[in-house]
């Protein structure tokens, strides 16, 4: 737990610029905690800085990693401060205990054309509404890994809510990523944008597509999961630091060995399963109907609801 709120990244340490931070990361000193546990001597050797300056960095890292405890009442106070973004469908909101929560990661997985991206569009509009209207009066960072962001669709959804479509689009910052490296860097470097634009929703659509296409075969699995783990933890840190909601979409794979039940499993393995605060499974029903199942939630019971994907967006 960071005590000194101003020290979160290696770059926040005194005397550590981007080059030194990069050197630290590539040498295995990836976290503030790791730097706190190292000696000024090894740091000065590694970075070619004076032992005195190295000591300042180590001391600041130590200061930032003092253990901080909270009472249960403090935690409850914090929980009350958690914001919720309405999905636009009362039944869906109810399933989630009020809407998509800030300070956590909400994952929706399902087959292609099941509606994962559509939910993302709806949230990107709704988060901009005032709090009394189910929003957080905030902007959106949309990390688009599949080139499926559709401004026209946002326009229709916004207009259906009586909002100014141009303003709504102006508050959605779309980062198109064509490699996992770009995807990871976008999240790594998002802090400034989030602060400046009051971003309250970060969407990663989809989380796994690029990871799956770049890391092929068993041999690459370890590396893939390590990078994925770091990426998703960065997303969680953004959620915590800025009290924002993270919405990620995920693909599924068939699990033909399973004889009973639904044979689809989200991809990404334990890394994604453990990191997602809330997991939802969406599947097609008749026509525009979709069934959404709450698979995992810290405070809500499992359950199902039906939504419709209409020209005006997500409805009951
Ligand atoms: P993948 O990204 O391919 O995995 O799918 P996805 O789960 O993201 O699906 P997406 O959210 O793109 O949903 C696609 C479905 O939404 C379409 O098959 C349509 O049923 C519906 N849809 C998309 N655009 C519109 C629209 O403008 N109007 C209406 N009524 N439905 C739409
Ligand atoms: Mg999609």
User: What pLDDT shows up at residue 308?
Assistant: 98
Number of domains in the chain: 2
Tokens representing 269 are 């393995």
Would you write out the chain's pLDDT as a tens digit for each of its 316 residues?
444 457 889 999 999 999 999 999 988 888 898 898 888 888 998 899 999 999 999 999 988 887 778 899 988 888 888 999 999 999 999 999 999 999 999 999 999 999 999 999 999 999 999 999 999 999 999 999 999 999 999 999 999 999 999 999 999 999 999 999 999 999 999 999 999 999 999 999 999 999 999 999 889 999 999 999 999 999 999 999 899 999 999 999 887 776 676 778 899 999 999 999 999 999 999 999 999 999 999 999 999 999 999 999 999 9
Instruction: Tell how far the Cα of 113 is from the centroid of ligand 2, in angstroms.
Output: 7
The ligand 1 site (C-beta within 6 Å) comprises: 110, 112-118, 146, 148, 153, 288, 309-311
Domain with 49, as residue range(s), is 10-63
Query: Backbone phi, then psi, for 234, in 5-degree steps?
Result: -65, -40
Q: Give me ligand 1 centre to Cα 88, in Å.
A: 16
From 108, 109, 117, 289, mutation site for ligand 1 pocket: most ligand atoms within 8 A of C-beta: 117
Q: Output the CA 229–ligand 1 centroid distance in Å.
A: 28
**95 C-alpha to ligand 2 centroid (Å):** 22
Q: Which of ligand 1's atoms lies nearest the C-alpha of 251?
A: 4
**Ligand nearest to the CA of residue 250, numbered in listed order:** 1
CA 187 to chain centre: 9
Asked if 187 and 286 sit in the same domain, the reply is: yes
How far is 266 from 269, CA to CA, in rounded Å? 7
Do 92 and 227 share a structural domain? yes
- Atom of ligand 1 at shortest range from CA of 156: 27
Neighbours of 220 (CB within 10 A): 12
Instruction: Work out the burial of residue 307: count CB atoms within 10 Å of its CB; fewer than 13 is exposed, 13-18 middle, 19 or more buried.
Output: buried
Please tell me whether residues 112 and 59 are part of one structural domain. no
Ligand 1 atom nearest 118 alpha carbon: 11
Residue 172 and residue 55 share a domain = no
The domain that holds 35 is classified in CATH as: 1.10.150.20
Does residue 230 lie in a domain region? yes
How far, in Å, from the CA of 177 to the mean position of ligand 2? 14
Q: HSE, CB side, 13 Å, CA atoms: give it for residue 275.
A: 27
CATH number for position 118:
3.40.50.300
Supply the pLDDT for residue 88.
96
């Amino acid at each position: 737990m960071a005590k000194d709120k101003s020290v979160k990244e290696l770059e926040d340490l005194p005397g550590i610029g981007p080059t030194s931070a990069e050197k630290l990361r590539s040498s295995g000193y990836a976290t503030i905690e790791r730097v706190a546990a190292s000696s000024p001597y090894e740091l000065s050797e590694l970075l070619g800085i004076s032992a005195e300056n190295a000591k300042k960095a180590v001391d600041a890292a130590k200061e930032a990693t003092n253990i901080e405890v909270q009472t249960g009442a403090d935690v409850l106070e914090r929980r009350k401060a958690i914001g919720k973004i309405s999905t636009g469908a009362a039944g869906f909101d109810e399933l989630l205990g009020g809407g998509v929560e800030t300070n956590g990661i909400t994952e929706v997985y399902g087959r292609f054309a099941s509606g994962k991206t559509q939910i993302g569009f709806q949230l990107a509009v709704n988060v901009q509404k005032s709090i009394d209207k189910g929003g957080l009066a905030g902007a959106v960072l949309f990390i688009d890994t599949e080139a499926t962001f559709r401004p026209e669709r946002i326009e229709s959804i916004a207009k259906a809510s009586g909002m100014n479509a141009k303003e709504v689009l102006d508050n959605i910052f779309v980062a198109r990523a064509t490699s996992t490296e770009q995807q990871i860097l976008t999240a790594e470097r998002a802090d400034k944008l989030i602060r400046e634009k009051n971003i309250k929703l970060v969407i990663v659509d989809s989380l796994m597509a690029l990871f799956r296409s770049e890391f092929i075969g068993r041999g690459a699995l370890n590396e893939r999961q390590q990078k994925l783990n770091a990426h998703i933890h960065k997303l969680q840190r953004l959620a915590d630091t800025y009290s924002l909601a993270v919405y990620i979409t995920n693909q599924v794979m068939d699990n033909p060995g399973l004889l009973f039940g639904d044979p689809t499993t989200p991809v990404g393995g334990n890394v994604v399963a453990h990191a997602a605060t809330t997991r939802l499974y969406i599947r097609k029903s008749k026509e525009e109907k979709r069934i959404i199942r709450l698979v995992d939630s810290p405070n809500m019971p499992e359950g199902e609801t039906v939504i419709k994907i209409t020209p005006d967006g997500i409805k009951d």
